[in-house]
Amino acid sequence: MEKMSLLALEKPQMLTEGDGGSYASWNTTVFPYLGTAKVSGGFLTLKPRGFAFPHYADCNKIGYVIQGTNGVAGIVAPQCEEEKVMKLQKGEAIFVHKGEASWWYNAGNDDLKIIFLGETQNATTPGEFTYCLFAGVIGVLKGFSTKTITKAYDITELQANELLNSQKQPLITSLDEAKTMPKHSDYQNFTFNFDKSSPDIDVKKGGSVNLLTCRKYPSLEGIELSGKLLKLEPNAMFGPTYYAEDSGVELTYVIKGSGWVQVVGMNGQIALDTQLEAGQLFAVPKLNVVAIGAGEEGIECFSIVTTSSPILGELAGNKSIWKALSHQVLQASLDVSPELSKLFIENISKTSIITPP
């Protein structure tokens, strides 16, 4: 595997852009490894009063709000008569099942920005999100004949033409002030606020790791998907780590800051060794080991992992597997002197998987 194949060298493809906002996604053309790993990503930006039409997708995905104070999402599951309307703000994550209808609206005064990362194991095109829209110029109703529409909805031909042709936008529009949207309800089990959740790992002057699993977020129950938010202070480092149980592919989006990443795969071969900057997407294959370092401004990353039970295996810090091994095994494995073996274990015992500068 080439070193750079795990990094998206191109920005996501812009699929639609207008007065209400934009949507862009990564595909297997700009990031070929997505098809191999069967994961993908998309980026939604809604301007104030921007509205994304109801639609469903062929994959499970987690949306993480990286900007915005008053977003609104509506979700309707198949065979369910209840529309769940939830408020979204920076730091919150929301899970959307494949086949669920969802719409998105920005009721705030600043742009709403959401990164979507998900698995595409059974998607139409592995490595890409495929959407089916209910409304707009590329909505599914446009494909049916007027006769079918009039019969299905018990309306006249004139009404059917208005129903099919009034909306001139493909995916996102800007609503005028005369139009109102439903108010959100308190659906605590359907969103997860990272900013209000205690991190799984928290190191003073180093950073934090917060894992999003079904234990914290019931909506993920039975789904091979979990999330992770990593925040590193300037010049701090996280890792090396791997997923020790039920290993999965990790797909990571750099929210802000800069730094570097190294991924080591089978036979000790370096799979990725590069600098990172905001807006980039990179992947860590199953069973690979990764280390991430922050630059002068720190770094913040959001990830999904294609497993429901992510358990971090640590190769550094006081929970490292090296610490659990006896001196004799460590010395024999690394073929080092007793003095270096002792120093190695002593130093590991004093540190964490997140290393402050």
Domain ranges in the chain are: 3-136+171-189, 197-355
CA–CA gap between residue 157 and residue 162 (Å, rounded): 9
What is the predicted pLDDT for the residue at 163?
A: 94
**pTM attached to this predicted model:** 0.94
Question: In this structure, are residues 271 and 343 in contact, taking their beta carbons and an 8 Å threshold?
Answer: no
Q: How far apart are CA 295 and CA 266, in angstroms?
A: 28
Distance of CA 341 to the CA centre of its chain: 40
CB 118 within 8 A of CB 124: no
pLDDT tens for residues 194-242?
A: 999 999 999 999 999 999 998 888 888 889 999 999 999 999 999 999 9
Torsions phi, psi for 230 (to 5 deg): -115, 125
pLDDT the model gives residue 1: 43
Would the CATH topology of 3-136+171-189 be identical to that of 197-355?
yes
Q: How far apart are CA 218 and CA 35, in angstroms?
A: 28
Q: How far apart are CA 6 and CA 239, in angstroms?
A: 18
- What pLDDT is recorded for position 310? 84
pLDDT of residue 157: 95
Q: What is the CATH number of domain 197-355?
A: 2.60.120.10
Cβ pair 290, 243 in contact under 8 A: no
- Report mean pLDDT in 10-residue bins for the chain, 357 residues: 73 94 95 96 98 97 97 93 92 96 97 98 96 95 94 96 94 94 77 93 96 89 93 97 86 98 93 96 95 98 93 89 86 89 88 93
Q: Which value, to the nearest 10 degrees, does the dihedral of the CA atoms of residues 235, 240, 245, 249 take? A: 70
Question: Alpha-carbon torsion 79, 83, 88, 92, what sign?
Answer: negative
| 3-136+171-189: CATH number | 2.60.120.10
Is residue 51 a contact partner of residue 105, using CB atoms and an 8 Å limit?
Answer: yes
Question: 212-232 burial, b if ≥16 CB within 10 A, otherwise e?
Answer: bbbeebebbeebebbbbbbbb
Tell which residue, 287, 298, 312, has the closest CA to residue 201.
312
Compute the distance between CA of residue 116 and CA of residue 108 in angstroms, rounded to an integer. Answer: 20
Rounded Cα distance between 111 and 134, Å, is: 24
Burial of 261 from C-beta contacts in 10 A (0-12 / 13-18 / 19+): buried
pLDDT in the model for residue 187: 64
- List, for residues 321-344, the tens digit of each pLDDT value: 888 888 889 889 999 888 898 898
Backbone angles phi, psi at 133, to 5 degrees: -95, 140
